[in-house]
């Protein structure tokens, strides 16, 4: 087992960009090697943080749903409650993704409701969450 997969993926990316790409004669192949190296660097970042960023998003969504002062319709409120009391099947990314998608779909509904009902404070809180969410999922390449 390689105990630091993030570093291993970065090292492979460097090997590809530093040793393989310069020796390819085809412009197309060299360009693809460069892109694959960059994608490996993205994968390295994602490998390290995937569970953490999804869990952080989910935790913040639950906090947001539970702190609502503006009251959306019963139908939506009950689904927000169900989500807040649920959990992912396991810590596998596949399962975290399912729960993350459920939370994001509810957020979209809640955001649309906040806009049409002029719930400005909630709208602001949602944008604040989206800003943190976008930063958390950013790739630094």
Span of 10-18, 26-34, 71-79, 87-95 interacting with another protein by CB under 8 A: 26-34
Query: What are phi and psi for residue 52, nearest 5 degrees?
Result: -65, -45
Does the footprint of another protein cover residue 71 (CB under 8 A)?
Answer: no
Cα 2 from chain centre:
25
Q: Closest approach of Cβ 45 to another protein, in Å?
A: 10
Cα separation values, 59 from 6, 53, 123, Å: 25, 10, 18
The reply on whether position 42 binds another protein by CB under 8 A is yes
What is the smallest separation between the CB atom of 1 and another protein, expressed in angstroms? 26
Tell whether the torsion through CA atoms of 34, 35, 36 and 37 is positive or negative: positive
Q: Which of 8, 12, 36, 68 binds another protein (CB under 8 A)?
A: 36
Choice from 1, 3, 23, 28 touching another protein (CB under 8 A)? 28
């Amino acid at each position: 087992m390689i105990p630091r997969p993030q570093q291993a993926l970065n090292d492979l990316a460097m090997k590809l960009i530093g040793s393989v790409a310069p020796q390819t004669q085809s412009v197309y192949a060299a360009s693809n090697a460069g892109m694959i190296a960059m994608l490996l660097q993205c994968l390295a970042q994602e490998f390290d943080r995937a569970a953490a960023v999804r869990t952080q998003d989910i935790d913040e969504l639950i906090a947001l749903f539970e702190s609502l002062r503006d009251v959306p319709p019963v139908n939506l409120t009950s689904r927000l409650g169900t989500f807040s009391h649920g959990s992912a099947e396991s810590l596998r990314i596949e399962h975290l993704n399912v729960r993350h998608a459920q939370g994001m779909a509810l957020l979209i509904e809640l955001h649309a409701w906040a806009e049409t009902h002029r719930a400005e404070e909630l709208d602001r809180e949602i944008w604040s969450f989206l800003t943190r969410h976008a930063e958390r999922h950013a790739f630094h390449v």
